[in-house]
Amino acid sequence: MENERLIIIFLGMAAATYFPRLIPLVALSKIELPRVVMRWLSYLPVAILSALIFPGAIQRAGAIDVSPGNPGLWALIISFGVAVKTRNLILTVVVGGVAMYLVQLL
């Protein structure tokens, strides 16, 4: 593939990824937001994280797979178990990753 063309496309991608990150931070950080907006923002982290986990974590090759043959399903259940039980982030990450590794070897 031609380098000049790729560089131009990648610069276009740079703009397309940077502006969604930049504009809300610049536009909203210096104004006093109404209380109702602040309350809405307070629910946003839980909502975003839940939407990132589901269905991403249980997808294989782009399709949702809830069969026992999907290692991600088991690793996800184990991750939730550890997280709820211990509320320890590092432990959840380590156990989740190790679980994913071991389940794949089975």
Partner 1 sequence: MNDVKNNMMKQAFTDALPIILGYIPMGAAYGILARQSGISLFPAIFMSIVVFAGASQFIAVGLLSGGATGFEVVLTTFFLNLRHVLMSASLSPFFRKVSRWIIPFIAWGVTDETYAISIGRYHSNEADHRYSLVLHYTAYASWLTGSVLGALAGFLVPAALQSSLEFALYSMFVGLVILQISDRLHLLVGVATAAMSILFSFFMGGTWNIITAAFAGATLGLVLEQGGGKRKKERGG
Nearest approach in angstroms of CB 7 to partner 1 is 6
- Which residue shows structure tokens 């994913």? 100
Candidates 79, 103, 102; CA nearest to 92 is: 79
CB of 70 to partner 1, least distance (A): 11
User: Under a CB-based contact definition with an 8 Å cutoff, are residues 60 and 70 in contact?
Assistant: yes
Query: Which residues neighbour 64 within 8 Å (Cβ) at sequence distance 6 or greater?
Result: 55, 58
Could you tell me the smallest distance in angstroms from the CB atom of residue 103 to partner 1? 9
* Closer CB to partner 1, 67 or 89, in the complex: 89
